[in-house]
Amino acid sequence: MTETSRVFRLTSKRAFWLYIVIDIICVGMGMGIPIFNILFGFVVGWYLIKWISISPLDWQDILRRLLVYACVTAVVTFIGMALLWGPSAKLLFDPHADIARFGIPFVLYEPRASLVGWLVLMILISPFLQMLTTVFAGNLTLLILYRRHRKNEHLDGTA
């Protein structure tokens, strides 16, 4: 499970700052809607397992670190979404606000309820979905690496 590429030998601080830059780019590409951040979670999960598995750890430590890092990435996206969409919450308390012309989809058929649903979706649910995609991709990558490792053991005759 060792990888010698320079990309997988980044320090945690450098990888974190690189993630923040790419996360901001993903928010911009989605024009404030974090769909690309959620999809980026697949790449992050793959990268995290490759990055974590450079050092010899047992699978429980790898999974624990994956979950911690996935939560950190979700917190970064949560902070970005809160900064981006949080000021829109003041429309809920303004009796003269024209929420119907705010530009969000009316999935709940009432402007105020739709705005609440939209803010919950953007600020809370989207980072959670990103965390889920990160953990899913990380587990899938770990499974592939484990099967590859087991296959190599059988070919070497060491198992």
Which two three-digit tokens encode residue 129? 């979905």
Place of tokens 């991709």: 137
Beta strands in the chain (DSSP E): none
| 8-state DSSP, 100 | G
Cα gap 122→139, rounded to integer Å: 25
pTM (two decimals): 0.86
Q: What does each C-alpha distance from 1 to 8, 40, 47, 61, 143 come to in angstroms?
A: 12, 23, 13, 14, 11
Query: For every one of its 159 residues, what pLDDT tens digit does the chain have, with 9 covering 90 and above?
Result: 444 577 788 888 999 999 999 999 999 999 999 999 999 999 999 999 999 988 888 888 999 999 999 999 999 999 999 999 999 999 999 989 889 888 888 888 899 999 999 999 999 999 999 999 999 999 999 999 888 888 887 776 665
Query: In sequence order, what DSSP letters do the residues of 4-17 get, joined into one string?
Result: --GGGG--HHHHHH
